[in-house]
């Protein structure tokens, strides 16, 4: 199988509009969660989220095109532009051998909500002709391939909160079997809408700590009461190793393992065994290496954090053998389908800079979450191999492992 490396990255989330500023803020323990401003959330039981503030879509798209693309696409375009510039391809690269895997858990929920209201209040003739092409998940890839002229495989991953991670593994498979020399993975989500917040809140999945938004997302803490929704996007350029070396590319990391599994258990409640199988598969593919850091799925929900802790202990052969683990969702919120992409970028940057981002808002220890979770303050460390976990509704799981080169 061909080797796959990462040669470009981009990221936008509630803490910054680029990978460097947002990673710095994550490591400093800043929190991008605040009261919702995108819509009037006063009637909602959950009124907080990790919004991307002050983002102007016209900074990345022609003003005439903005209305044709849902916000998740606009955020994805921003991350993709940063990643492609970061990869620094020469003029005339073979665009027929360059593909994309676009990932989102929900896609154009704001457009769906808006046009549903229009249907009910103004009738079907007033629905926007841009509604369908601007809301489909695969249109994230469609817009971006047009932007960069990419003519290779055009794929999409739509697997809830595991979508970004699955986008990475599916793109890697395409390169490994010779279907492309490069793949751009873009994971994006923007579901902070009335129906999005209301839907998750009705499931009792969201934190309702509205009076204290900065401390609402508290992975592994005993007083966690649900996740806080975030939005954002990340992009990674995956490249066949020999092609990257031949063009003198800067290589951030090599993808040495990935694992995928299904719980076959419950449509929303995560199991222990499903995530464990994905971790074991990724570790086996990577050759069962010594992992130096795990970026946990760590949602701040009672069940996930407990189950993930137990699964990590089994995967690594006991608590004493587990590497340091942290969840960065306290800083960014849970970005759903974009989370895996964002957290893969965070994991690679942690390895690059030799620093483990903290799990913030950890105040009250939970005896069921008793790993070294790097509480509250970042930690300097030599990191050569890192793992990132993502688990989604429907019992869909993804794990990726990267190695420094």
Of the candidates 31, 161, 322, 369, the residue annotated as catalytic is: 161
Per DSSP bridges, beta strands 253-262 and 4-12 are antiparallel
Instruction: Confirm whether 27 is a catalytic residue.
Output: no
Instruction: Confirm whether 334 is a catalytic residue.
Output: yes
How deeply is 105 buried, as exposed, middle or buried, from its count of CB atoms within 10 A (0-12, 13-18, 19+)?
buried
Of the candidates 31, 334, 335, 369, the residue annotated as catalytic is: 334
Instruction: Confirm whether 297 is a catalytic residue.
Output: yes
| Secondary structure of the chain in HEC code, one letter for each residue | CCCEEEEEEEEEECCECCHHHHHHHHHCCCCCCEECCCCCCCCCCCCEEECCCCCCHHHCCCHHHHCCCCHHHHHHHHHHHHHHHHHCCCCCCCHHHEEEEEECCCCCHHHHHHHHHHHHHHCHHHCCCCHHHHHCCHHHHHHHHHHHCCCCCEEEECCHHHHHHHHHHHHHHHHHCCCCCEEEEEEEECCCCHHHHHHHHHCCCECCCCCCHHHCCCCCCCCCCCECEECEEEEEEEEEHHHHHHCCCCCCEEEEEEEEEECCCCCCCCCCHHHHHHHHHHHHHCCCCCCCEEECCCCCCHHHHHHHHHHHHHHCCCHHHCCCEECCHHHHCECHHHHHHHHHHHHHHHHHHCEECCECCCCCCCCCCCCCCCECCCEECCCCEEEEEEEECCCEEEEEEEECC
Of the candidates 297, 322, 335, 369, the residue annotated as catalytic is: 297
**Catalytic residue ranges:** 161, 297, 334
């Amino acid at each position: 199988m061909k080797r796959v490396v990462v040669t470009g990255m981009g990221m936008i989330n509630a803490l910054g509009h680029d990978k460097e500023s947002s990673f710095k803020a994550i490591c400093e323990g800043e929190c991008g969660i605040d009261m919702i401003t995108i819509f009037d959330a006063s009637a909602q039981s959950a009124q907080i989220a990790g919004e991307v503030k002050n983002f102007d879509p016209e900074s990345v798209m022609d003003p005439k095109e903005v209305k044709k693309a849902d916000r998740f696409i606009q955020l994805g375009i921003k991350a993709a532009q940063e990643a492609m510039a970061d990869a620094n391809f020469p003029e005339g690269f073979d665009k027929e051998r360059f593909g994309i895997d676009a990932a989102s858990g929900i896609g154009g929920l704001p457009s769906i909500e808006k046009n549903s209201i229009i249907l009910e209040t103004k009738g079907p003739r007033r629905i926007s002709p841009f509604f369908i092409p601007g809301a489909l998940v695969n249109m994230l890839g469609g817009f971006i391939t047009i932007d960069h002229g990419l003519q290779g495989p055009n794929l999409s991953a739509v697997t809830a909160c595991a979508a970004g991670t699955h986008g990475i593994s599916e793109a890697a498979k395409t390169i490994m079997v010779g279907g492309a020399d490069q793949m751009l993975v873009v994971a994006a989500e923007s579901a902070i809408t009335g129906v999005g917040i209301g839907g998750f809140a009705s499931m009792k999945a969201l934190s309702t700590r509205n009076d204290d938004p900065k401390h609402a997302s508290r992975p592994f803490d005993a007083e966690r009461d649900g996740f806080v929704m975030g939005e954002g996007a990340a992009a990674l350029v995956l490249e066949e190793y020999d092609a990257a070396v031949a063009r003198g590319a800067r290589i951030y990391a090599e993808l040495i393992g990935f694992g995928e599994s299904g719980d076959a258990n419950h449509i929303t409640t995560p199991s222990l065994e499903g995530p464990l199988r994905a971790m074991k598969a990724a570790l086996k593919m990577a050759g069962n290496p010594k992992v130096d850091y795990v970026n946990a799925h760590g949602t701040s929900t009672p069940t996930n954090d407990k189950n993930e802790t137990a699964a990590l202990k089994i995967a690594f052969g006991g608590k004493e053998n587990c590497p340091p683990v942290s969840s960065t969702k306290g800083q960014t919120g849970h970005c759903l389908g974009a989370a895996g992409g964002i957290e893969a970028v965070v994991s690679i940057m942690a390895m690059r800079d030799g620093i483990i981002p903290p799990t913030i808002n950890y105040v009250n220890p939970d005896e069921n979450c008793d790993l070294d979770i790097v509480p509250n303050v970042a930690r300097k460390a030599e990191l050569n191999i890192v793992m990132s976990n993502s688990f989604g509704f429907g019992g869909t799981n993804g794990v990726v492992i990267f190695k420094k080169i």
